[in-house]
Amino acid sequence: MGALRPCLLYTPGQVPYPLAWEWQRHVQQQKIQDPEHPDVLFLLEHPPVYTLGQGSSMDFVRFASGAHELHRTERGGEVTYHGPGQIVGYPILDLRHYRQDLHWYLRQLEEVVIQTLAALGISGERIAGLTGVWVEGAKVAAIGIKVSRWVTLHGFAFNVTTDLAPFAAIVPCGLTKPVTSLAQLCPGATLEAVQPLIAGMFCKVFGVKLIAKKLDYPILGPPA
Q: Active-site positions?
A: 173
Beta bridge partners of 144: 155
Residue 180's SS3 state is coil
Determine the Cα–Cα distance for residues 167 and 170; give it in Å rounded to an integer: 6
Phi, psi of 91 (to 5 degrees): -85, 130
Give how far Cα 198 sits from Cα of 43, 67, 181, Å.
Answer: 9, 33, 15
Measured N-to-C along each axis, helices 102-119 and 191-206 cross at an angle, to the nearest 10 degrees, of 130
Strands 86-92 and 151-159: antiparallel
Report the Cα–Cα distance between both ends of the chain, in Å, rounded. Answer: 45
Written as one letter, the residue type at 158 is F
Give how far Cα 80 sits from Cα of 89, 118, 141, 144, Å.
Answer: 14, 24, 10, 10
Determine the Cα–Cα distance for residues 72 and 86; give it in Å rounded to an integer: 20
